Amino acid sequence: MIRVQPEDFDVGAEIEALTRGKTGIGGVASFVGLMRDVAGDKSISAMTLEHYPGMTERELERIEAEAQRRWPLIASLVIHRYGRMLPGDRIVLVATASAHRAAAFESCEFLMDYLKTKAPFWKQEETPEGARWVAADASDDAAASRWTKE
């Protein structure tokens, strides 16, 4: 399941809802992305996430379908927020549930790596010198590319 929303989410309630009644699940892996108050040597007071409505949902659904094709997942969830956020705020939740832990761990990491390089979101940070767009990080491309190796 995919959700793109400005509102915060409750991690515990989301995982509870994702797994309720699915008693074949043996483990859930989750990742929560939070807003940092620092980037390099700059302090960040707030951040605004822009996205491409429509394509964002399509890309996330495509990435989730790819994870479900690669691993025996019983349930999965991606929630990504947009709009203005403050340090400590939750930005993204990925949760994956499977009978065994390996599939849950691996697919959770895969989803985050692909989301960071494919889902059309852009961060603008507010620094003491003004607003600046975050540049893409080559290490994110490297993290995503390892899933395409044989």
Residue numbers at the binding site for another protein (CB under 8 A): 33, 49-52, 54-55, 58, 80, 91-92, 112, 115-124, 133-137, 140
Pick 25 or 47: Cβ nearer another protein: 47
User: For residues 52 and 120, is the Cβ–Cβ distance under 8 A?
Assistant: yes
With respect to another protein, which residue has the nearer C-beta, 16 or 137? 137
We find the least distance from the C-beta atom of residue 44 to another protein, in angstroms, to be: 13
Distances (CA, A) of 8 to 5, 80, 82: 8, 9, 10
What is the smallest separation between the CB atom of 113 and another protein, expressed in angstroms? 9
For residue 69, what are its two tokens? 């094709």
To 5 degrees, how large is the angle CA 53–CA 54–CA 56? 75
Please report which helix (H) or strand (E) contains residue 39, including its range. Answer: strand 38-39
| Minimum gap (Å) between residue 119 Cβ and another protein | 5
Nearest to another protein of 87, 120 (CB atom): 120
Q: Residue 9 gets which letter from DSSP?
A: -
